[in-house]
Amino acid sequence: MSTSSTMRYWRQYRSIPIVYRIGAAFVLGSLFGLAVGDPATRLQPLGDLFVRLLSMLIIPIVVFTLVMGARRLSPSSLGKIGGQVVMLYAITSAFAVFIGLAVGNLLNPGTGLELTDAESQEAEAPDIVEVFLGIVPENPIAAMSEGNVLPTIFFAIVFGLALAMLQEELDEGDVRRGVETIFDIMEAGAEAMFKIVWGVMEYGVIGVFALMAAVFGQAGVDAIVPFAMLIFAVALAVTIHIAVIHLGGIIALLVGESPRGFLIGGKEALITALSIRSSSGTLPVTMSNAENNLQIDESVYSFSLPLGATINMDGTAMYQGVVAIFAANIAGVSLTITEQLTVVAIAVLASVGAAGVPGTGLIMLTLVLTQLGLPLEIVGFVAGVDPILDRMRTMTNISGDLAVTTLVAKWNHAVDFTGGTWVGNEAPGAAPTDD
């Protein structure tokens, strides 16, 4: 085969989105494992390499993205509206993890797929006081070198906010230039890490094929049901969170308006999110819906929605809760209440630097599993069905962005409930509003 033909086939292969190639590898690896049986487990080292590559990324991604993310949370931007937005995003993300954990505990996805090689590495779970004290590192460098995720997240956020405060306090001088240089380095580092992530995910096609072949070669057809249960569990958690928190709690209870009017107003953004799996990519549609359909003033949505596309990860946070239970069941262990609260803390804190792009959930998942001492092979297992899960997560993120933006706009008299899709969709018994 000529070099030109090889390059042509390679370009055609690369033109297929990576998530679909990984999905195909998931299916083909599963079928191969079912067909070949136990000999397919010999491919395990190829899957282990994928897991090691993911492990390599964890700490650098945390440091680079969180310090860079803190730049967007500068003191001047966190005025009255900014404080309300960030507070609500953190609260809804925390609720999302709790719902994910509740659904996970109820349905127990992963049961029946217990693998002897996938064992928890945490001998004894610490109590709740130790967990929260452990968030503050005695030695940040040691925490990074040992791969301790929570203290690394804490230090990266604090360091980033300190840099942001210095940048605003100083007009000129070497210190300000130094701060800007550090931020530029962190941004360059984050972009470099995303390039490495791209390379790792390219290899992930082979890694996922090998992992799934080994799983199905060992477990047989019994492995099918746990993955179907995982998809169902995430879908159920998403439905509960949007219905109870976004529509019921925020729109109906706090805003006092019709959830139907809200859904009609944001339907283009929700459908787009479901289609392209990117909060950042959906942002233009989300902003258009906020202004034209939901009648929200630009003074609110121009800040809340771009920030939400970056730090508000309700769907992703919820997914961490469900998959943590899934991973524990596969590893044959039970997560204590303390460990489940650790999942909440990681998901909420890590969302500050999570990029609003496809695949973010897998990167955050490595943080959660590492902190809990659960096998990172789970990331490879989940990657195959992640295109389905990611669509649901992204739609949840966008729903949360719009719900929080609507509430903050109401609090600040920056929304017109007498226009847009609110008209004809008033909440039952709602009184006319002057907002």
> Tokens representing 69?
């993310």
Contact 335, 367 (CB under 8 A): no
Concatenate the DSSP letters of all residues of 146-210 into one string.
TT-HHHHHHHHHHHHHHHHHHHHH-SSSHHHHHHHHHHHHHHHHHHHHHHHHHHHHHHHHHHHHH
The residue with greater pLDDT, 62 or 414, is: 414
pLDDT at residue 361, as a whole number: 66
In a domain, 8, yes or no: no
pLDDT of 18 above 80: no
* Contact predicate 359/19, CB 8 Å: yes
| Mean pLDDT score across all residues of the chain | 81
d(CA 61, CA 63): 6
pLDDT at site 217? 80
What CATH number should be reported for the domain holding residue 353? 1.10.3860.10
In the predicted structure, residue 137 carries a pLDDT above the cut 90:
no
pLDDT one-digit tens code per residue, 198-234: 788 788 888 888 888 887 787 677 667 888 898 899 9
241 — pLDDT class (breaks 50, 70, 90):
very high
Examine residue 2 and state whether it is found in any structural domain, yes or no.
no
pLDDT for position 122: 45
- Number of structural domains (the chain) is 1
- The confidence score (pLDDT) of residue 249 equals 95
Residue 85 has pLDDT above 60, yes or no: yes
Q: Is the per-residue pLDDT at 406 higher than 80?
A: yes
Whether 307 is covered by a domain: the verdict is yes
**427 domain-assigned:** no
Give the pLDDT confidence of 142-181 residue by residue, as tens digits.
888 887 777 887 888 789 888 888 888 877 788 888 988 9
Q: Average pLDDT of 29-44? A: 86
Predicted pLDDT at 106: 92
Q: Please provide the DSSP assignment of 263-310 as one string.
A: HHHHHHHHHHHHHH--HHHHHHHHHHIIIIIS-B-HHHHHHHHHHHHH
At 134, the pLDDT band (50, 70, 90 cuts) reads confident
Instruction: Using the predicted structure, report yes or no on whether residue 77 has a pLDDT greater than 70.
Output: no
Q: Helices (DSSP H) in 312-385: which residue ranges?
A: 314-331, 337-350, 360-372, 377-383
pLDDT at 92: 92
Does 364 or 83 have the greater pLDDT score? Answer: 83
- What's the rounded Cα separation, in Å, for the pair 79 and 65? 23
Residue 11 covered by a domain: no
Is the residue at 9 inside a domain? no
93-115 per-position pLDDT tens digit: 889 989 999 999 999 888 876 65
Mean pLDDT computed over 271-276: 80
Domain ranges, residue 337: 17-422
Q: Which residue would you say has higher pLDDT here, 252 or 125?
A: 252
Query: What is the arithmetic mean of pLDDT over 326-335?
Result: 86
> Which tops the pLDDT comparison, 245 or 170?
245
Determine, yes or no, domain membership for 1. no
Please check whether residue 5 lies inside any domain of the structure. no
Low-confidence winner among 29-33, 35-39, 149-153 (lowest mean pLDDT): 149-153
Least confident of 20-24, 202-206, 217-221, 355-359: 355-359
Collapse the DSSP code of 415 into the 3-class scheme (helix H, G, I; strand E, B; otherwise coil) and give the result: strand
Q: Is the pTM of this model over 0.75?
A: no
Look at residue 343 in the predicted model and tell me its pLDDT: 84
Structure-derived torsion over alpha carbons of residues 79, 83, 85, 91, reported in degrees to the nearest 10:
180
pLDDT of residue 427: 59
Tokens of 407: 């509430």
Q: What gap in Å lies between CA 417 and CA 410, rounded to an integer? A: 9
pLDDT exceeds cutoff 60 at 354:
no
- Both tokens assigned to 355: 């990029």
Whether residue 394 is predicted with pLDDT greater than 50 in this model: the reply is yes
pLDDT of residue 117: 53
pLDDT at 428 over 70: no
Per-residue model confidence (pLDDT) at position 352? 59
10: left (phi over 0), alpha (psi -120 to 50) or beta: alpha
Q: How confident is the model at residue 131 (pLDDT cuts 50, 70, 90)?
A: low
Distance CA 43, CA 207 (A): 9
Q: What is the pLDDT confidence band of residue 369, given thresholds at 50, 70 and 90?
A: confident
pLDDT at 362 over 80: no
Find the mean pLDDT for residues 61-75: 73
Is the separation of the CB atoms in 308 and 400 below 8 Å? yes
Residue 382 makes CB contacts below 8 A (sequence gap 6+) with 230, 323, 326, 362, 365, 389
Q: Count Cβ atoms below 10 Å from residue 283 Cβ, excluding itself.
A: 21
Q: Which is more confidently placed, 308 or 245?
A: 245
Q: Pick the residue with more confidence: 429 or 307?
A: 307
